Amino acid sequence: MTATRIDGKAFALTVREKVAAHVAKLKAEDGLIPGLAVVLVGEDPASEVYVRNKGKQTAEVGMNSFEHKLPAETEEAALLDLIAKLNADPAVHGILVQLPLPKHMNADAVINAIAPEKDADGFHISSVGLLATGQKAMVPCTPLGCLMMLREHHGDLSGLNAVVLGRSNIVGKPMAQLLLRDNCTVTIAHSRTRDLPAVCAGADILVAAVGRPEMVKADWVKPGATVIDVGINRIPAPEKGEGKMRLVGDVDYAAVVEVAGAITPVPGGVGPMTIACLLANTLTAACRAAGLPEPE
Ligand code: NDP
């Protein structure tokens, strides 16, 4: 039986529509316009595409978008100055510093300089601590998007075996925390895990966030499992012409779709949900700052 395709693109559209409706209400009733500041240092082409998309979608839901592009050689102190200004600016409710930062900067110090209440990406040490201790936190956008798709597909996740493949601070670890909070039995696998295929094969929910093209094979997947593919990998696509590339995930989609119960595609799965969650986080931050009820 072929797996259900979880359509992240369509789901993200419904999330953005809800955000836009809430923003319109805030403007009309409270004169409040949520604002998101995105800071990009350097000229990484993939980061430039993400930042452009974020800016476009922020404006589309009726929020203010403030873009700050700094040259790659910017001193860390100058970036910290900019963050201090954004922290103090009442028109800015969410701040995102696009990662990766140039090597001469200390990314932890930069992220921790963001005011926690404006931490739209949920990477600040206090957001991490709040999430880990089960308190109300700003949740990192990619894992939040994955969780929303899982809840939409499964309803209650209690008691399910979840395997998170990857332990990064931005995806794997917060994903595991969120699944634990939803009462899954969680295993975190990584490059030192022994017999990875067998570990993955025990999962009712398998989240792949490794950055290895099509690594998860059909015999790693329990029949009927739900597979969330976070990976975004560019591989050569000679069939499209010389030098052309295409996007694939961390899961061998063509094979796994025949075994899994449900699966997210790449592109069109986790990616669109990530930006939608960023907008939702910014809206939440704006409501909290104004002492207004938060969106559900
Ligand atoms: P990182 O490189 O920070 O982390 C990768 C993780 O995968 C590490 O924990 C690493 O283990 C593990 N890993 C790597 N190779 C193997 C292997 N052969 N076997 C088992 N585990 C392995 O990546 P990110 O978490 O930042 O991103 C993961 C993927 O998700 C990337 O493709 C990225 O592009 C994509 N991504 C997509 C987003 C979206 O919006 N859709 C957003 C963010 C990321 P160890 O710790 O032992 O080294």
Residue range 19-59, pLDDT digits in tens? 999 999 999 999 999 999 999 999 998 899 999 999 999 99
Residue 296 has a pLDDT of 80
Non-local CB neighbours of 163 within 8 Å, separated by 6+ positions: 186, 187, 188, 189, 199, 200, 202, 203, 205, 206, 207
Mean pLDDT of the chain: 97
Fold for 29-124, please state it: Rossmann fold (3.40.50)
Beta-carbon neighbour count of residue 232 at 10 Å?
Answer: 18
Question: What is the complex's ipTM, to 2 decimals?
Answer: 0.99
Indicate the domain borders of the chain.
29-124, 141-272
Which is catalytic among the residues 54, 118, 173, 222? Answer: 54
Averaged pLDDT for residues 181-196:
98
Ligand 1 site residues (CB inside 6 A) read 142, 166-168, 170-172, 190-192, 196, 209-212, 230-233, 270-271, 274
Check the annotation: does 166 bind a ligand. yes
Of ligand 1's atoms, which has the minimum distance to the CA of residue 172? 25
Pick the CATH number of 141-272 from 3.40.50.720, 3.30.70.2500, 3.30.200.20, 3.40.50.300: 3.40.50.720
Residue 1 has a pLDDT of 78
| Rounded-to-integer distance, Cα 191 and Cα 25, Å | 47
Non-local CB neighbours of 94 within 8 Å, separated by 6+ positions: 34, 35, 36, 37, 118, 119, 120, 278, 281, 282, 285, 286
- Is 29-124's fold the same as 141-272's? yes
Non-local CB neighbours of 280 within 8 Å, separated by 6+ positions: 15, 19, 144, 295
What's this model's pTM, rounded to 2 decimal places?
Answer: 0.97
Examine the pLDDT at 120 and tell me if it is beyond 90: yes
